[in-house]
Structure 1
Amino acid sequence: MSVIWGIPYLLIRVAVRDFPPDVLVFARTAPPAVLLTAYAAYRGMLRPLLPHWRMVLLYSLVELAGPWLLLSHAEVRLSSSLAALLIATTPLVAAVLARLGGSERIDSRRLLGLTVGVAGVVTLAGVDVHADDMVAVGEALLTAVGYAVGPFIVARRLAHLPSLGVISSSLAVVAVLYAPFAVWHWPSSVSGDAAVSVVVLSVVCTAVAFIVFFALIAEAGPARASVITYVNPAVAVVLGVLLLDEPFTLGIAIGFPLVLLGSVLATAKPRREPAAGATGGSEALAAAPTGRAPEPS
């Protein structure tokens, strides 16, 4: 699972050489939308969603439609390694949202984690980013925000619905939303590398990934399944350095351990468990059907 969700950054970086970001979002969502929606319909997982279509639509926009466009656009300027490390801040955002929503408290250890994680982001941006790339950095960080908000919607409004039904319908919504842009902006020529990247993004990193993730949650539980959050960025950095000749910079060497340590500390359980009911939905949050951190794109 960590490999499957660690390689999209590499694939996006290759794909955006030929595919405009909006076309790429359509190309990676349409095939899995058809496959997973057909399966979900066969299993009767779509009908229960009908009374909740507004929340499904909101989740689709916040978790997929917005973040995947922002991330694809950001990787036009940023390396796959840097993009992955910026997205690794998602657990930090999720920890803040959990505190603001009153579902979890932030003790001294979590506060230290947030501080360390922010220091890691500042290090990454300060050492590795040029001034004209700051818009792309902002897009990557907004992607992390979307990835963090999406599971809260699932945990509080959609947790009682079939997970595969939610994600398949969300993929379908995004595919339909971006279809007109795909028709208008479809590239006149596509390299073999870009085409293969889109196919792998669509089939492996989306369709297969969600099925495997649901199986992982069933086998290991939502809390242990969330460990992949901390491994994905490492996979992305290694692949970027080895396959795309991206530099292993001083910013990555210093910033990545800080972001990783900050995420671990910020998402750790409080030393004293809150009163019953104070953490409502936390397990559902960890098990939310997202494309990266079970966020925590």
Structure 2
Amino acid sequence: MSADPLAAPSRFSSKGWVLFAVMALVWGMPYLFIKEAVDSYSPAAVVAGRTLIGAVILLPLAIHRRALRPALKLWPWVLAFGAIEMAGPFLLLGHAEQTLPSGLTGLLVATVPLFAAVIAFTRGDKGMLRPARAGGLLVGFIGVAVIVAGPGLAVGGSASLLAVGEVLLVAVCYAIAPFIVATKLKDVPSLGTITLSLFAVGLFYLPIGVLTQHEVPTMRSTVSLVSLGVICTALAFMAFFALIAEVGPARAPLFTYVNPVVAIILGTILLGEELSAGLLIGFPLVILGCWLAATGGVVVRRARPGPAPLGEAD
């Protein structure tokens, strides 16, 4: 990483695109799993379950790499990251998806890059104002707006304004968190930050989850909860930190423009959620906007061959 923790290459490398695709997939899936999990688990129980599962999976690796001690030295910022990236958003998403379709939830979270661009601009990143990248953000947002405004997913009826507001607040949190990583935790092994954050959030929500759980969980909800912990938490956060290091905190959240594609496809196929004309029109706009915002419209740069960096792989 360069001396400026907010700096990023002007173009996406091949590694950046691979990580981008991984994040688009694994964080397009949680909306389906959350929708299924909250069918018989309370939102707080879902948060406690997924974070503790993720933490237990990562703990042996974190101990082996001696990644916990550096994270403990900066524990206030680690807890701040956990609160903004996990504790608040995970609970808000679980509560919102008791009302909203999983696909619509994914679409609303796709506003993350807009908030990230505003934050980057306030911190002096004028690159976000380049015509192609700014235009990409606008095109992507228009695509999201077209999808949300479509007759199949128009907000109304059971899709309450409160739930929509909760998801938009999640988007703001997701936009802020990468900047904490890039500025305050840049010298802390990502594995230590993730593991410590997951344990803190999980232990905080565990008693709340127990007290708010009032029914016997179904097998389908339990499988979804385990999937959230393994795929969408433990594995996803490792890829997320690698993406921040590769492309910078302003562009790392751009994969959230693609997440709705995954969320809507899964919701349509597995949950029978409606696939409207607005979705078909908005999909290409979302993809185009994501590409322009990420690259400025240039072709992907081939990474120069060189020795692998020493130390932690992630």
Task: Give yes or no for TM over 0.5.
Answer: yes
Structure 1 stretch displaced more, 70-79 or 249-258: 249-258
Q: Does 1:130 align with 2:152?
A: no
User: Equivalent residue of 2:188, what SS?
Assistant: coil
Partner of 2:172: 145
2:104 aligned with 1:82: yes
- 1:24 is aligned to 46
SS in 1 for 2:295: coil
Structure 2 counterpart of 1:294? none
- The yes-or-no answer on 1:188 pairing with 2:215 is yes
Tell me if structure 1 keeps the 8 A contact 2:132–2:296.
no
How many residues end up aligned between the 2 structures?
Answer: 269
Contact 2:132 2:293 in 1 (8 A): yes
Alignment equivalent of 1:91, drawn from 90, 105, 113: 113
The amino acid across from 2:207 in the alignment is P
CA pair 235-113 structure 1, distance change in 2 beyond 3 A: same
3-state SS of the aligned residue for 1:206?
Answer: helix
Query: Within the alignment, does 1:174 sit opposite 2:201 as a pair?
Result: yes
Distance 1:258 1:217 in 2: 23
Output the CA distance in 1 between the equivalents of 2:232 and 2:147: 26
Query: Could you say if the C-alpha distance between residues 144 and 190 of structure 1 is closer, same or farther in structure 2, counting changes exceeding 3 Å?
Result: same
Aligned residues of 2:45 and 2:205 also touching (Cα < 8 A): yes
Give the deviation of 1:144 after TM superposition. 1.4
SS at structure 2 position matched to 1:188:
coil
Shift of 1:39: 2.8
Change (3 A) 1:37 1:147: same
Counterpart CA distance in 1 for 2:108 and 2:283 is 9
Find the residue that maps to 1:36 and give its secondary structure: helix
Cα distance change on mapping 1:122 and 1:6 into 2, 3 Å: closer
Say which of 180, 187, 206 aligns to 2:233.
Answer: 206
Tell me by how many angstroms 1:109 deviates: 2.1
Alpha-carbon shift at residue 71 of structure 1 (Å): 1.3
Structure 2 residue aligned with 1:235, among 249, 262, 276?
262
> Counterparts in 2 of 1:25-44, with a 5 A limit?
25-44=47-66
**Which of the numbers 246, 249, 257 marks the counterpart of 1:222?**
246
Q: Which residue of 2 aligns with 1:100?
A: 122
TM-score (norm 1): 0.81
Aligned to 1:62, the other structure's residue is in SS state: helix
Distance 1:157 1:104 in 2: 21
Instruction: Label 1:20 to 1:230 Cα distance change in 2 as closer, same or farther (>3 A).
Output: same
CA spacing shift, 1:72–1:92, aligned 2, 3 Å? same
1:277 corresponding residue in structure 2: none
Aligned equivalents of 2:86 and 2:256: distance in 1? 17
CA distances 1:1-36 after superposition (whole Å, capped 9, x unpaired): 243332211111111111121111111111221231
Gaps of 5+ in 2: 1-21, 299-313
- RMSD value over aligned CA atoms? 2.7
Query: In the alignment, is the contact (CA less than 8 A) between 1:107 and 1:270 conserved in 2?
Result: no
* 1:252-296: CA deviation from partner (whole Å, max 9, x where unpaired): 22333333333333333599xxxxxxxxxxxxxxxxx9xxxxxxx
1:193: Cα distance to partner? 0.8
**Mapped contact 1:95–1:267 kept (Cα < 8 A):** no
Question: Quick one: percent identity of the two aligned structures?
Answer: 44
